[in-house]
Structures are given as C-alpha cells and as structure tokens.
Structure 1
Amino acid sequence: MKELIEMIVKPLVDFPEDVQVKVLEDENRVTYQLSVNKTDMGKVIGKQGRVAKAIRTVVYAAGSSQQKKIFLEISE
C-alpha cells in the first residue's frame, strides 16, 4: 500500500524525493501518513480537495480486502 501511495503522488509533485509515507498500525486500523514538500501541498490537495479525495478513494478501495480500517493523512 505504501508503494501504491508513492506511485500515485510522486508524478504529481515537483520534489518527488521529498515524498514520504509512514505507516502506523493499531489493532483495528492502519494509518498512512503522507508528507510532501511544503511547496507541493497544493498539488497533492488540489482544488477543493479533489486530488486528495481521489487519492484516498484509490487507497481505500485497494485496502478494502483487509480487515482493518484504513486512513490516509496528508501533512507537510
């Protein structure tokens, strides 16, 4: 899943080397923390959050087979 997020985000940004995904796993949830360069935040979020919503939709669909709830957080 981490590789999927990186594969989606890196072509969108100007600084792909700054894209990092951290995984936090609990009993019943997995949280992926996506961090990008400060100047790339607008590109990852998109107008009215459309790009971020699309990324989350793909990630949630890919993880739907798991028993745990999946969350994607975007930060600088």
Structure 2
Amino acid sequence: MKQLLQTILEPMLEYPGALHIKSEETQHNVSCRIEVHDDDVGRVIGKGGRVIKAVRTIVSNANHGSSKKVFVDVD
C-alpha cells in the first residue's frame, strides 16, 4: 500500500523528498497517513478534494482482494 501511494504521489509533488507515508494495519482496516510539505498539501487534496478522492479510490480498489477497509488521510 505504501509503495502504491508513493508511486502515485511523488510525481505530482514539488517537494517529493518531504513525502512520508505512515501505515497502520488492524484486524478490520488499513490506515495510511500522508505527510507532505506545506506547499504540496493543495496539490494532494486537489480542487474540491478531487485528487485525494481519486487516490482513495485507487488504493481501495487495489485492496479489493482483502476484506479490510482502507483509509487515507493527509496531514
């Protein structure tokens, strides 16, 4: 999951070195927290949240074989 998020997000960031992804997995869900440079937060969220919604959709579909729910948050 971390590698997929990194592959999606790095090309769109102005400061890709500041990208940090923390992933926690429990019995019922997977939680990924994305930390980026302050100038890149808008790029990750997108206008009206379109970009982060698309990222969440991709990550959820990549985890389709598992019954765990995936959460992606931006800090």
Give the whole-Å Cα distance in 2 for the aligned partners of 1:67 and 1:47: 30
**Structure 2, unaligned runs of 5 or more:** none
Q: Which residue of 1 aligns with 2:24?
A: 24
1:53 alignment partner AA: K
Identity of aligned residues (%): 37
1:4-43, aligned counterparts within 5 Å?
4-43=4-43
Return structure 1 stretches of 4+ with deviation > 4 angstroms: none
RMSD of aligned C-alpha atoms?
0.8
Give the whole-Å Cα distance in 2 for the aligned partners of 1:47 and 1:70: 22
Q: Matched residue of 1:27: which SS?
A: coil
Q: Which residue of 2 aligns with 1:71?
A: 71
Give the whole-Å Cα distance in 2 for the aligned partners of 1:58 and 1:2: 13
**Structure 1, unaligned runs of 5 or more:** none
Q: CA deviation at 1:67?
A: 2.2
Q: CA deviation at 1:22?
A: 0.5
Matched residue pairs, number? 75
TM-score norm. by structure 2 comes to 0.94
Give the whole-Å Cα distance in 1 for the aligned partners of 2:74 and 2:65: 23
Q: Matched residue of 1:70: which SS?
A: strand
1:70 alignment partner AA: V
